[in-house]
Every structure is written in C-alpha cells, then in structure tokens.
Chains A and B, each alone.
Chain A
Amino acid sequence: MTNWVFKGLRTGIKTTAYPVRQDDTPGVSPGRPRATLLDSAAEVERLVELCPTQAIERQDGGAAIDYGRCVHCFRCWRDADDVSADWERSYEWAAYSADSAAAAQDLEKAFGRSLHIRFVDAGACGACMSEARQLNNPYYNMHRLGFCTTPTPRNADILLVAGPVSDAMRFPLRKTYEAMPKPKRVVAIGACAISGGVFGPSFAASASAAETIPVDVIVPGCPPPPLAILHALLLVVKRKPPSDRISLPIDPTEDAKE
C-alpha cells in the first residue's frame, strides 16, 4: 500500500490551469472550423459541397459554421487544394440552447457552488462518454470545481446527455429527467445530442435530445473535448460566458483580435 502512496506523491500535480487561465497544451482539443471570409461565391459553394452534414452555410462574404451539425470530419479543412475553412484552436464551445436563453437567467441563483451530475448515454458512440469521463482524471479533476457524479437521479442537479437518443433510450432519458428535483439543468453533449449528428433523425434515432427533454446548454463537437464539457458546467453556474452556436463571418478587424 505504501508504494501506492509514494507513487501518488511522486506524480505531482498535473491539473490544468483552466478555468483560471487558458490551457494551450497541445492535444487538449482538436480545435474546430470557424466562419471563413472568402473572395468568391464559387469558393463558398466548394466549402458547402465538401461538408457532409450541411454544417456550412452560405453567408454574405463567406461561409458560416453551424456547430450543432459539425462532426469534426476535417473535410472542409483538408479535402480541397484551393480553398479551406479557417480552423481555430479553442475549446470554450458551450452555448445556450436556442430555446432556453430565458431559463439561463437564473442558473446562477439556482445553485450554490457544488453540483451533482447524472450522465445518460442515449446512444452515444462512446467517444463523448469517454471525454466526459476524463473530467475525473487528475488533469481535469472536476471535483476541485465542485462537480461530482451522483448514484441517483434524485440528487442530481445537472443531466449530461450524449447520443442521438436511440429509440430504446427515449423512455429512460425522460424518466431520469423527471426523477431529478427542481431546479435542474440539461447539458447536451456532442453533435449527436444537438442535431442527431451522423445518425438522426431516422427511424431509430431522434433529431436531438431536445425532442425528449428540455435542453439548456449545448456543447458542440464530435466529441467535445473534456475542457469544452467543463466549460459547459461552468456556464451552467455562470462562471464562464457562453460561446456561439453558429459562427458567422465577421469583419476582418474583429477577426484579427483572436
């Protein structure tokens, strides 16, 4: 047993500086495409065609990205020789869901500093869950920020849901939500839970988790990295501001600040 204690001590502290400071360690996030200013309509069309999930939209002056649909396939970034979307290194991706901006107002009042989390896998591929699970590892250690998982929905404040809500998970998802006491918040993790991702809507999966239960915060990504999920939790308690659900091309002076 003593060996383990020494091993634990020797390893030292590895925890990320986020949210106090940004963490730019290579590999913590794959980054994501962002709205891109383009010279010609033909270039915009090229990007729109490259995207297999219709995440790229035509906008004045360039291409916008709908993060709820983007599945991180990198095709807009790699596949064409002559044009590519801009790629940003970031991870603060959580945003308020379209219909819960009002509910978002009192998130802060509703909770103290500690939050109990219940996770429901509603047909996720395993990667979203794996990223959420990393929040327990010493690098991210969500406990230091007052977040922990709970063995029963009756103690839960936050429901994390991942996956396109397969048919058989609709009922358990709704039941879990109903068993949680008020006030409660739902965070939808990943493109699947936001837009059905590559699976839904279909005969077997939904178009979003919001079809089954009300969703307050979305975390785009496929999968969103652990820091993005942490950002969502911090957004729920208003310790961090939200990101945008859609990235619109903006004028170059604004853009240059990044």
Chain B
Amino acid sequence: MEMLKPVAEDALTSANFAALCNNVWQGRVAAALDQRGRICRLNCWRDQLVEVCQWLSRDLDFAFATLIVEELPDNGWSLLYIFYKGPNSPWVYVEPKLDALTTAVPSISGLVHGPSADWHEREAEDLFGLKFEGHPRLGEFILHEDWPEGTNPMRHDFDAHERFEHREADPKWEPPTIVVAPGAFAMPVGPVFSDFAESAHFLLETVGEDVIHTIPRFFYKYRGVEKIAEGQNVGRVLLLAERFSGTAAFAHGLAFCQAIEAICGTKVPARAQALRTVLAELERFRHHAAVITGICNSTALAVATSQAALIEEDLLRLSCKVAEHRYLFGALKPGGLALDIQDETCSDLSVTVGAIVGRLHELHGMLRYSSSFLDRLEEVGGVSNEQALSYGLVGPVARASGIARDLRRLFPYAAYDAVGFTVPVEQEGDGYSRLRIFFQEAEQAAMIIRHVLQILPDGPACADPVDWCAGAALGAVEAPAGAAFHWVRLSGDGTVARYRITPPSFTNWHGFHLAAENFAFQDFPIILASFGLSNAECDR
C-alpha cells in the first residue's frame, strides 16, 4: 500500500521525530514534542507551510486529519494542520505563523499528496472568510446561494442565536421527478427522495442510460453545530455531539468526551473503558447491519433486505436493553459512562450478540452465492487505492481500497489495546469489496464485544466529576464510517470556546464522485448505499 520509504521507520518515532525534523529543516522549522511525547508541534513560517505539509504527506506518508481554524481575540488567526501516521509516530500539528489581520493563507490542497485538505479549506473560506491562495475551487460550499455573500457565521462577531434573514432560495427548484430519456442531459436527484433517505442533491450527467459524471451537492442539513456549541457548557455540548449524527452517536460522543478528558487530565476507570469499547462496537455492529440492509435494498433483493433489517432491529432492541436507548443516546459522560451494566445484562448481551452474528454470517453466506446480486455489486462504484490515498479516505470505504488505517489500531483508546482483532482489508475497491468489509467488520465487532465482556474489570463505571481546566485537545475515534476527529477548546469555567468536528462522512463524501463515474443509471442507488455514509454526519 505505501510507497518506498525514503526515511527509516524508527526515525519517525516520537523520540526521534523532532530530531529528524530539525535535521531536515536546519532550524527553519521549530519542532517541539509535548510532555507525553504524543504530539509534535511544527512551527513554520507562512511561506514554508506548503513545503512542510508536502514533506509530511509525500515523503513520510503521514495522513492529513484535519484543519483547525481559530479566531484569536486580537483579530489574528491560529491555523493548525493535523497529521497522523501511528502507531509509534507522534501526531504532528503544523502551525504556520500568520501576520495579524491577514486573512490570506497559502492553500495546501492540490499541492499536498492530493486534495485531502480541499474541503477543509473550502469550509474555512465559507464559514470564516479566510482566503486560500492558489486553491483551485472556492466559492459556495456549505452556505447555499440563499446566504448573502460575505456572511461568515463562524466569526466571533456573528450571533449564533439571532434568527438570520436569508434571501429566498432559488424559486425554480421543484420536487424532482426522475425521467430517463435518450440523449445527453443532466438529471437532478434530490434533495428529497422517494423513500426514507437523507437530504442531499446529485446532478447526474448522462448520455442515454449511462451516467458519465456525478456532481454532488451537500450541506442541506447544515445546522451550525460547531457555532451553537460555542459558549455552552460541556453537558449541553455533549447532547450536540451525540445528536448531530444520531446513527453514530456513541462514537462522536466518545470522541468529544476523550477530548474533554485529555484537557482536564481525567483518568477514566478501567471498567468504563471496557464498557465504552463494548458499546462502541455494538454501535458499529448495528450501523454496519443498517448499511448491509441498505445495500440489499438497493439491489431489490427482498428476502435478504428483510433478513438484514431484522438483524438491525434486533440490535436496536439489544442496545435499548443494555443502555436504555436504541441509539445509545445519554450513555456517555466525561469520565466514563452515565450508567453501569449489570453482570446479568452482560451475559445476555454476550449470548444475544453471538446468536445475531450467526444469522449475519448465514446471510453473508447466502449472498455470496447469489450471482444476480453479485453482478450488481462487482466492478461497480470502484475507487482505486491511489485515489483513496490521495483523497485521504477513511473507514470501511478506504479499507475496501487497500488502506489498512484504523484509529483503534493506530492510537488505541478505550480498551482496544486489551483485545486482539483484525482490521479487514480488501483490494478491489468496488461495491462488493465494501460490502465484504461491512460484513467482516460487523463480525469483528461482535467478537470484540464478547471478548471484552469476558475480561470486564470490576470497579466504578465513571470517574469523580471532572474539574474543568482551560485548554484544547483532539479526540480521535474510529466511528462506524471511519476516522472522527473532535477538536475542543475549553474555557476554565467549563464552557466550550471552539468545537470542530471532522466526521468520516465529510472526508468520504469528498471522494464519492470518484466512484460515481461511467456507470449505468440504475446502479446509482447501489453505489450510494455501498458507501454507507451519512449526510447528517457530514453536514453538521
């Protein structure tokens, strides 16, 4: 998967990384390791930014995680480009020194290893009004055409609670009806769909029955979560963390809690860590069952759809029995869990998960021999390994294209270092490989749940109430759809000053168009379903 490495692997360990950096940059970039040796900050001049990012991603194979923009109280800006590689290398935070008052920053997308920072820069342009010099495509992105030019809601002087007067949306918009006619034309799909589907818009450019090109438009569901979190207390922001993407509530709640715990130096008890692992995997299991249901449904295989849907519903019920809520809302709190799980419930959980995974296995076996089903998925919606790398794709989608990255492995959190599990990888990158990844990961999730329950430690399920500290930290969790990064800046009074979520659906929707080129029109729902992404998660 990785290219030839010009730098020896052990030069990239935390201990050696700062030295390597000083060596390569001859003091032009200041490298400093944090106390625990987990984060290396690289301070560089504005003009070196592109070069440094290029060095990290191209020469050292670091992956771009996220771009954090913060508006400083004195009108200046702080930009943080976060890269990761793991498991022995540190997180790398690149911090360019910017002149006060400047809103122009060199763009790293297009130059760095590919366009993985592209959407991050577009978002910062839209929401903060920063300018990224040399970016190939800026303009309307998160805020659609009905927001007046020059509105930058993430700026401090923009009031989140004031109702905002918009222009009227494009009056030509109509509820779409899908017509297929000969000849070349562009077919709009969405934002409202015929069945239960999330709001998004796709323009399919077609010739006859074939779609040549897909132009997606997202952020119909932009709720300004990061903005409305500002100034609210941790308990209230936790509600947002769980509810901006309800089908991955636990993963995102966990990433938020981990950021808070890192800031405040909270030690999470062993039992809480183990139970967090159990619930996170229960959520992954259910999420993947839902994606499998969606894929079966998109191929109109009725019995398989029913079987998968029954598995999904059984997992929802199981979640409700274990943690009182079908989507695990309210189960987390900083320092541990908001509830404990009794021994009896744990043994029920273990048995039920075992039975359900048996049914999943059977379903997988039957699908494998359904040639009419496989024909719809094989060689459909392909993403090559190079494409996936250059777009920095994450999660099951990336793993189906040969990228074995998984944050549970790279930076083990909760109790993941105590369990052995495999990270399934496939190479073809088509719809069928993604389906196989979803099946295998669901089976691994069940395995992890049962393993952790066997070694579940006694003790409290939550630490003492957390004493708030001022600071900032990144919470990184492998959510069901892939890597999720939550950056939190906390004030000493326990209110959130800045919250930035980089959800896996944001990262992966960016690469969706790669898979949606040159295909038969009726395959569109299949390609869509095989990505298993959420618009709520992407749009925030």
Contact = CB atoms under 8 A, between A and B. Distances in A.
Contacts of B74: none
Contact of A126 (B147, B162, B193, B198): B198
A123 interface: yes
Q: Which of A28, A78, A123 has the most CB of B within 10 A?
A: A123
Interface in B161-205: 161-164, 166, 168-170, 173-175, 177-178, 191-199
Interface string B140-168: 00001011000001000011111110101
A7 B177 CA distance: 36
In terms of DSSP, what is the predominant structure of the interface of chain B? Answer: loop
A72 B330 contact: yes
Given A26-B321, A71-B243, A8 B303 contact: yes
A30 B325 contact: yes
Contacts of B537: 126
B159 A170 contact: no
B313 interface: yes
A119 B327 CA distance: 21
B361 interface: no
B175 A223 contact: no
A43 B459 CA distance: 30
Q: Which of B169, B223, B304 has the most CB of A within 10 A?
A: B223
A72 B288 CA distance: 24
A111 interface: no
A104 to B, nearest CB: 25
Given A164-B223, A171-B173, A8 B338 contact: no
A119 B175 CA distance: 12
Contacts of B227: 202-204
A contact residues, range? 35 or more
B36 to A, nearest CB: 32
B320 interface: yes
A74 B320 CA distance: 13
Contact of B304 (A4, A130, A179): A4
Contacts of A220: none
Given A132-B196, A198-B239, 7 more contacts: A8-B306, A27-B319, A53-B239, A72-B329, A149-B196, A179-B175, A203-B158
Interface of B: 144, 146-147, 153, 158-164, 166, 168-170, 173-175, 177-178, 191-199, 219-225, 227-228, 235-236, 239-240, 243-247, 249, 290, 301-304, 306-307, 309-310, 312-313, 316-321, 324-327, 329-330, 338-339, 366, 369-370, 372, 534-537, 539
24 contacts: A4-B370, A8-B302, A8-B306, A30-B325, A52-B236, A125-B249, A126-B198, A127-B246, A127-B247, A139-B310, A149-B195, A163-B221, A166-B221, A168-B144, A168-B169, A168-B191, A171-B170, A172-B192, A176-B175, A202-B161, A203-B162, A203-B227, A204-B224, A204-B228
